[in-house]
């Protein structure tokens, strides 16, 4: 027997093999297991998701873009996200989701005039915005939004799936898929997995042996800061930030993401740290200000000079239209991906719909 165990072998094929344990694969696996489907999730990362879903914090904000208007798909995605996380909480699991609301600070008076008229948000005049934020033109409050710590959500989904019989294997890299008369064979670095259906949820990662759709990879960065800031709402916009609670030391963890580009950001800091404060070389520095920290400091002056605890770089997959993909690639292989900058906002609705389709296909 291979190190994959007995499940997923020629003698005991799984119904669905989910390839990739980011937010797309983890949510789909959870729905399948809870629908009574024998689902096996494999991920190449040994310690959990290694793609875009390992970003330290993610916002749930349907009022995106310059206009700040929300689309129906994003509104439904948000509602499905809160349903999903409520379900996990009811099962005694911690999905790391905070229904805090989300703040967007206006850049200029014109934007303020347009946002003031939006029907589904609350407009805050400059004097009504908490003084921790610098909002000279006012800010939009998206009350139904919030943020999530992805690592907690992925663990809760895996635990919820496991409770319903869904199995997860880490450190298993799928290098090829071939159709058979009864399903699909997946070649992995640990042996072959036999399944009736496979779903590619592999994000921006590419393997030469897999026929994956040609999504574009957009790289982004995140910093985890330690700063003396108590801010009630996470911030959306060109720079995204979320704020943990202030501990006994007077410091809170602050998560900031952005810097999206077609190429990965260089290792940071490039210059020797002006004032090392310990930890792995180059990881904990003061002084050498990262552009994300500088940009956040304009909106939240209290973070200026904060200590950088961690630097994260990752790529998300997107299509030119920005719309995610959940469709059949071949008779027994589906894809769920290209979630772009709204993976956490949209995964629940997409996974629910694809899960229902797979259940129907398996019943035929």
Ligand X SMILES: Cc1cc2nc3c(=O)[nH]c(=O)nc-3n(C[C@H](O)[C@H](O)[C@H](O)COP(=O)(O)OP(=O)(O)OC[C@H]3O[C@@H](n4cnc5c(N)ncnc54)[C@H](O)[C@@H]3O)c2cc1C
Task: Identify the residue among 18, 33, 41, 55 touching ligand X (CB under 6 A).
Answer: 55
Task: Write the binding mask 247 to 266 for ligand X: x where contact by CB under 6 A, - elsewhere.
Answer: ----------x---------
- Least distance from ligand X to the Cβ atom of residue 229, Å: 19
What span, in angstroms and rounded, lies between the C-alpha atoms of 195 and 134?
Answer: 54
Q: Is 297 an interacting residue with respect to ligand X (CB under 6 A)? A: no
Which of these segments, 21-29, 133-141, 265-273, 282-290, binds ligand X (CB under 6 A)? Answer: 21-29
What span, in angstroms and rounded, lies between the C-alpha atoms of 317 and 215?
Answer: 6
Beta bridge partners of 178: 185
Of 230, 226, 241, 223, whose CA–CA distance to 298 is shortest? 241
- Start-to-end CA distance of the chain, whole Å, equals 31
User: Hey, what are 231's tokens?
Assistant: 């801010």
Q: Is 45 an interacting residue with respect to ligand X (CB under 6 A)? A: yes
Which of these segments, 38-46, 116-124, 160-168, 223-231, binds ligand X (CB under 6 A)? Answer: 38-46
- Least distance from ligand X to the Cβ atom of residue 345, Å: 4
- Least distance from ligand X to the Cβ atom of residue 156, Å: 15
Q: Is 104 an interacting residue with respect to ligand X (CB under 6 A)? A: no
Q: Cβ of 189: how many Cβ atoms within 10 Å?
A: 11
Interface of this chain with ligand X, residues 196 to 225, rule: CB under 6 A: 201-205, 207, 220, 222
Virtual torsion, Cα 287, 235, 90, 24, nearest 10 deg? -80
Residue 336 three-state SS:
strand
Q: Is 23 an interacting residue with respect to ligand X (CB under 6 A)? A: yes
Q: Is 63 an interacting residue with respect to ligand X (CB under 6 A)? A: no
Indicate left, alpha or beta for 180 from its phi (over 0: left) and psi (-120 to 50: alpha). beta
Helix (H) or strand (E) holding 97: strand 97-98
Q: Is 43 an interacting residue with respect to ligand X (CB under 6 A)? A: yes
* Binding footprint of ligand X on the chain (CB under 6 A): 19-25, 42-45, 49-53, 55, 58-59, 173-174, 201-205, 207, 220, 222, 240, 257, 314, 316, 337, 339-345
């Amino acid at each position: 027997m291979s190190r994959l165990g007995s499940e997923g072998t020629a003698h005991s094929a799984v119904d669905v093999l989910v390839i990739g344990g980011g937010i797309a694969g983890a949510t789909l696996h959870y729905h399948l297991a809870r629908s009574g489907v024998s689902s096996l999730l494999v991920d190449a990362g040994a310690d959990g998701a290694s793609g875009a879903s390992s970003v330290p914090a993610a916002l749930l904000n349907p009022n995106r873009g310059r206009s700040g208007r929300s689309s129906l798909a994003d509104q439904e995605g948000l509602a499905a996200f809160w349903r999903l996380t409520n379900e996990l909480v009811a099962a005694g699991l911690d999905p790391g989701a905070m229904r805090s609301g989300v703040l967007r600070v206006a850049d200029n008076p014109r934007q303020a005039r347009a946002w003031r008229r939006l029907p589904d948000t609350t407009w805050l005049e400059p004097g009504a915005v908490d003084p921790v934020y610098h909002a000279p033109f006012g800010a939009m409050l998206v009350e139904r939004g919030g943020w999530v710590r992805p690592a907690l959500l992925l663990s809760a989904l895996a635990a919820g799936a496991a409770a319903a019989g869904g199995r997860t294997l880490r450190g298993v890299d799928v290098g090829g898929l071939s159709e058979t008369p009864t399903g699909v064979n997946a070649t992995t670095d640990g042996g072959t997995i036999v399944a009736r259906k496979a779903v590619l949820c592999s994000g921006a990662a590419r393997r030469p042996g897999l026929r994956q759709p040609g999504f574009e990879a957009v790289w982004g960065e995140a910093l985890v800061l330690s700063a003396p800031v108590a801010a009630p709402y996470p911030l959306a916009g060109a720079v995204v930030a979320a704020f943990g609670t202030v501990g006994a030391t007077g410091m809170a963890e602050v998560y900031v993401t952005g810097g999206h580009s077609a190429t990965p950001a260089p290792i940071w800091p490039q210059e020797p740290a002006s004032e090392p404060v310990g930890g792995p070389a180059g990881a904990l520095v003061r002084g050498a200000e990262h552009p994300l920290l500088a940009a956040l400091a304009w909106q939240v002056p209290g973070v200026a000079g904060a200590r950088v605890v961690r630097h994260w770089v990752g790529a998300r997959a997107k299509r030119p239209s920005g719309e995610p993909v959940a469709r059949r690639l071949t008779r027994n292989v589906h894809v769920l991906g290209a979630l772009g900058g709204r993976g956490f906002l949209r995964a629940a609705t997409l996974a629910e719909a694809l899960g229902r389709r797979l259940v129907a296909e398996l019943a035929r």
